[in-house]
Chain A
Amino acid sequence: MYCLIAAESAIFTIFVVAYLFYVGKSLTGPQPSDVLHAPIFYTVCLLASSLTIHVALRRLSAGKMAAFGRWWLLTIVLGGVFLFGTGREWAHLIQDEGLTINTNLFGTTYYSLVGLHAFHVTMGLVALIAVAVFCFTSQLQRAHAERVEILSMYWHFVDAVWVIVFTVVYVIGK
């Protein structure tokens, strides 16, 4: 998983470099400063999900399956809320501001970078939901804690990438 994270980091690095390289190089509007609003609430949700997954894992290693299930579901809900937030932001940008992926360089780089991250969140949610299904059909045991922990590393990675994406897109890029 560390290796996968290294490979994923390299992919994100290239997209971040492309984003930074193209900041302010769009020939036509809209510009980031006109249309972007930092999604503070949704960011807090995603970062909080890192905490809840950590708590869930501690419950799993302690063998408290019911508590694990509750914290795990909360993690999924928080991830889902974040994804909903990205969706709303995109709907706003497309419908109200007329920014699509082929409008200008900002659109191209913004949708690619944020979309790549959202794709990773989606993949993470699919895996989290699979674990939840195993949990509620009583197939998940305490002995599986190590495997679930590897999945949680992926989730932490996705959160950490969001911190970078947030900084790049909503702080430096504006």
Chain B
Amino acid sequence: MSTHTIALTDLPTTRPLTLVLHEWVTTVDHKRLGILYILYALIFLALGGIEATIMRFQLIRPHNALVSPQVFNRMFTMHGTTMIFFVAMPMLFGFANYLVPLMIGARDMAFPRLNAFSFWMTALGGLLLYFSFFGGDGLYGAGSAPDVGWFAYAPLTAKTFSVGHSTDFWTLSLLSSGIGSIGTAINLITTILCMRCPGMTLGKMPLLVWLNFVMAGLVILAVSPLSAAQLMLIVDRYLGGHFFDTQAGGSAVIWMHFFWIFGHPEVYVLVLPAFAFASEIIPVFSRKAIFGYPVMVLATIAIGFIGMSVWAHHMFTVGMSAGANTFFVLSTMAIAVPTGIKIFNWLATMWGGKIRLATPMLFCVAFLFQFLIAGLTGVTLAVAPLDWQLSNSYYVVAHFHYVIVGGILFCIFGAFYYWFPKVSGRMYGEALGKLHFWLFVIGFHLTFDFMHVPGILGMPRRIYTYEPGRGWDIWNLIVTIGVVFQAAGILVFAANLVWSYLRGRTAGNDPWDAWTLEWSTSSPPPVYNYAKIPSVRSRRPLWDLKHPEDPDWRYE
């Protein structure tokens, strides 16, 4: 275990901008690629956020005419696609890229060049998607973005109903980013299996590494079907195939199956890294080791397996057989069990702990509370008869935003504040961080708590406007007001990042008195991470180092 702080200072500090840019573009360093992923995701977070804001202001009152129905369709398609494929996934891949090699005491990923290739494929995907605004209609005139919804049901995507090239841009961008995701997943699995430092058995890996390992396995099994389905769609659109062409005997339902075989495991691809952040942050800020480590690992693997067999709960309203409905109801309910185990373990970790409510911990506590509610509304939707009533209403929209914003995004914010000192070498502003937290909590609950209500009252999703006097008006107004708070929170967050990066006080190697390996190297870590490859004897190597009189390995 070394706390060497041999920073790379042999490079002169003032280099021409072109040289710096060239270094970043050609880098194969896992930390730089991680930062590139995260910055890229932040840009798309702003874009996706603007699209959401446009939708909410269109719906603020009945018969509003801020945007046309056509633009509204493009906005919800682009918002969904952007947030899933170009915000959440690259953001989590960025953290995985940055943290996994550091946490297992390695100097880089197993395949650094594949890593760079994966990032640039993902980046190409995002550019393709947004180029559709300019090139979507091809030679027909002005551009247009895809407007087929983020799951792009057939036959909306058929040439007849989607003229021009906007759907092709959507397909190609997902195919490209899919190749990037599979590359990253292969890289993560190889790194975790082959590059762990001496002494780090699978049972001594930090939970973050375990969860990202299972996540990478899910990416391989889930994103590949999506790529296959996109290839079929390309065959249909360019070569005149009939995969999803009902006129020629093809099936629109099989696209739904193929999409959701990807689509539901994707939720777990996103939520497992979020769990990973919570599993690192909660113990450190409760001053206790994680409760029930082996059970946490087993629950993660269980989620991975069950997560592959719940996809058709997105399709109860399609009209499947009673047997299929029953199977997917039960498997969906079963997945609440390992998830519940995790929530209890986090609570047990906090129980009796000496809790420090710094910003990362605040976000994680809010995550626990909100993710529980998201899970409960999820169980209600898993009941097929109730789903027939609520499917495609704003209740569903509120449910999955509760998961993705209330669960995943809150954990991501927590992770930002927790690892910001490690990545930048400087502390963030605690007051601004707390302001961000409270603004975002208030905005989140205003928006997504009250969004359940119009859903129960029958307001369908994806409508561009509605009639007054149906009891939806006041709820839509409150929901839109929440957006203002969330946007303000995001602005505070961005300001905090920039200000702290430039002016923050020096953080030191280990500002949180934490226990995993990344805190033993300098902040920011040198290119080679560790001058001497560390060796570990327990799950909390830095605890052992700081408390040689009472090390963890005696008890594990």
Contacts and interface: CB of A to CB of B under 8 A. Distances in A.
Interface in B453-474: none
B316 to A, nearest CB: 20
- From DSSP, what is the main secondary structure of chain B's interface residues? helix
Interface stretch (A7-15, A36-44, A73-81, A120-128): A7-15
Given A3-B190, A27-B249, A11 B240 contact: no
B251 interface: yes
Given A101-B240, A102-B242, A105-B242, A3 B220 contact: yes
Interface stretch (A18-26, A85-93, A155-163): A18-26
A18 B223 CA distance: 17
Contact of B224 (A11, A26, A102, A105): A11
Contact of A3 (B185, B250, B261): B185
B174 interface: no
Most buried by A among B249, B254, B258: B249
B235 interface: yes
Interface stretch (B127-135, B226-234, B509-517): B226-234
B221 interface: yes
Nearest to B228: A14
Interface string A91-116: 00000000001101100110010001
Contacts of A3: 185-186, 189-190, 220
A130 interface: no
Nearest to B181: A7
A6 interface: yes
Contact of A18 (B185, B190, B254): B254
B231 A112 contact: yes
B225 A14 contact: yes
B20 interface: no
Given A25-B249, A108-B241, A10 B225 contact: yes
A11 B220 contact: no
A11 B258 CA distance: 11
Contact of A105 (B223, B229, B248, B261): B248
A82 B310 CA distance: 40
B249 A101 contact: no
Contacts of A9: 224
Contacts of A116: 231
B186 A8 contact: no
A15 B250 contact: no
Contacts of B242: 102, 104-105, 108
Nearest to A1: B186
B235 A10 contact: no
Given A14-B228, A14-B258, A102-B242, A7 B220 contact: yes
Contacts of B221: 6-7, 10
A172 interface: no
Interface string B231-259: 11001100111110000111100100010
- Choose among A11, A102, A108 the residue with the greatest number of B CB atoms under 10 Å from its CB: A108
Contacts of A6: 220-221
A112 B254 contact: no
Contacts of A12: 228
A143 interface: no
Interface in B133-168: none
B249 A11 contact: no
Interface residues of A, number: 26
B182 interface: yes
Nearest to B226: A14
Contacts of B223: 7
A19 to B, nearest CB: 10
A9 B240 CA distance: 26
Contacts of A4: 182, 186
A135 to B, nearest CB: 24
Contacts of A112: 231-232, 235, 241, 243
Contacts of A18: 232, 243, 254, 258
B240 A7 contact: no
A109 B182 contact: no
Contact of B225 (A11, A25, A101, A109): A11
Given A18-B243, A102-B241, A105-B242, A7 B224 contact: yes
B243 A109 contact: yes
Nearest to B241: A108
A26 B243 CA distance: 11
Nearest to A28: B248
Interface string B74-96: 00000000000000000000000
A153 B183 CA distance: 18
B156 to A, nearest CB: 19
Interface in B192-227: 220-221, 223-225, 227
Interface core residue of B182, B228, B229, B235 (most chain A CB under 10 Å): B228
Contacts of A105: 242-243, 248-250
Contacts of B235: 101, 108, 112
Nearest to A108: B241
A22 B250 contact: yes
A102 B250 contact: no
Interface of B: 182, 185-186, 189-190, 220-221, 223-225, 227-229, 231-232, 235-236, 239-243, 248-251, 254, 258, 261
Given A14-B224, A22-B243, A101-B235, 15 more contacts: A4-B186, A7-B182, A7-B221, A10-B220, A11-B224, A11-B228, A14-B228, A14-B261, A15-B232, A21-B251, A26-B249, A27-B249, A104-B242, A108-B250, A112-B241
The 8 closest A-B pairs by CB, nearest first: A102-B240, A10-B224, A14-B228, A108-B241, A3-B186, A11-B228, A7-B224, A27-B249
